[in-house]
Structure 1
């Protein structure tokens, strides 16, 4: 009788261990996300795509206001840097004089410019850089 109870206990223990392994496989996360519902996987892919797209957005910006001429006040001239994560973008400058205002645009690639930059444009790029 004792042998029957011992073998029955052994079989029950094996069955419980097997069920525990199956339960662990169902609940433990997998690196590839295959254990997640398809809508969650879809959301993860959307978030990854949005992160990739935002890197190319002009998200780094800075404005420097200044007096271009000594006889004028009010900081009416300005330089604006609009750059993406890799430092590509544009610097816009508007120089205000008494009778007119002129606006200039310069391309920026990799945080530098082929054209000569004014000190204020350099400052705007430096402030926009993370």
Structure 2
């Protein structure tokens, strides 16, 4: 179980790094507010730029927990959808069995996947689509 959590933490850290680099967050100034304009028109442009930058952020998140096998209890299996405003991202799934756990990652584009999603993965994507941040 600890190995699965460690792998999940590494995957999430890698996803966060890719998103930060893609959105240019790594190049932003260290002192917040240093380069903010003083006039209303400048502030509007800054807000518009921030909104455009946030489009690629993984803001639609949902977790579905379930029992993958009849002999297992405690809803130890789960599917996690991490999607941006366009419905692009990934669904991570961990299937917990009596003697092993398997982890899967499936890409999602425009709220659907080229790979077949399980009912639980579809449910995670549907809940993430309804999630508003």
Q: Runs of 5+ in structure 1 lacking a partner?
A: 1-36
SS at 1:129's partner residue? helix
Partner in structure 1 of residue 59 of structure 2: 59
Q: How many residues align?
A: 94
Deviation digits for residues 4-34 of structure 1, max 9, x if unmatched? Answer: xxxxxxxxxxxxxxxxxxxxxxxxxxxxxxx
Deviation of the 1:100 alpha carbon: 1.5
Query: What pairs up with 1:67-86 in 2 under 5 angstroms?
Result: 67-86=67-86
Query: What pairs up with 1:78-117 in 2 under 5 angstroms?
Result: 78-117=78-117
Deviation digits for residues 19-75 of structure 1, max 9, x if unmatched? Answer: xxxxxxxxxxxxxxxxxx953322211100011111211101110000011001000
Partner in structure 2 of residue 39 of structure 1: 39
- Structure 1 CA distance, aligned partners of 2:39 and 2:98? 61
Partner in structure 1 of residue 121 of structure 2: 121
SS at 2:121's partner residue? helix
Deviation of the 1:118 alpha carbon: 0.5
Q: Runs of 5+ in structure 2 lacking a partner?
A: 1-36
User: Which range moved further: 102-111 or 50-59?
Assistant: 50-59
- Structure 1 CA distance, aligned partners of 2:91 and 2:124? 8
- Structure 2 CA distance, aligned partners of 1:46 and 1:111? 29
SS at 2:70's partner residue? coil
- Structure 2 CA distance, aligned partners of 1:38 and 1:73? 58
Name segments (4+ residues, structure 1) moved above 3 Å.
none
Deviation of the 1:99 alpha carbon: 1.6
